[in-house]
């Protein structure tokens, strides 16, 4: 059975390759990489994506992507997730439950705004 079309992909897919400076001082920027791929257990939604926030030196501060597997927990009891979807915030990596393109964009911008607020950046 085919899954329903995610119309919010029409907003996400055209962002592929885009880079936007997002603060008045020019010290923070976001980058979008989004491609359709064959559905698989690792990428059941048929997308390969990376949405990132960087500081002026190029260091990634926030990232949502599905480039590699992640684990839940730590130490010997950690379990590797089947899906690759996850988010980075500074040096922390956590699994991310992909729902649709609209939620991905909203969740990404929520994290971006939170990190910028912590850094005292006013948009």
Query: E strands along 67-117, which residues?
Result: 71-72, 79-80, 86-89, 92-95
Q: In the chain, where are the structural domains located?
A: 9-72+80-118
Average pLDDT over residues 73-93: 73
- Give the least confident one: 47-51, 60-64, 81-85, 89-93: 81-85
Please provide the average confidence, as pLDDT, over all residues in the chain: 88
CA distances from 119 to 27, 41, 45, 115, 122 (A): 11, 37, 33, 6, 9
Q: At residue 12, does pLDDT exceed 80?
A: yes
pLDDT of residue 122: 82
* pTM over the 0.75 mark: yes
């Amino acid at each position: 059975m085919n899954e329903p079309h995610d119309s919010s992909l029409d907003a996400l897919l055209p962002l592929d390759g885009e880079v936007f400076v997002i603060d008045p001082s020019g010290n923070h920027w976001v980058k979008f990489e989004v491609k359709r791929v064959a559905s698989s257990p690792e990428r059941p939604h048929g997308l390969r994506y990376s949405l990132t926030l960087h500081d002026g030196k190029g260091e990634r501060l926030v990232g949502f992507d599905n480039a590699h597997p992640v684990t839940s927990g730590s130490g010997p009891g950690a379990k590797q997730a089947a899906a690759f979807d996850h988010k980075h915030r500074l040096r922390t990596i956590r699994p991310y439950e992909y729902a649709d393109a609209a939620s991905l964009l909203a969740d990404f911008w929520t994290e971006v705004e939170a990190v910028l607020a912590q850094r005292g950046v006013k948009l």
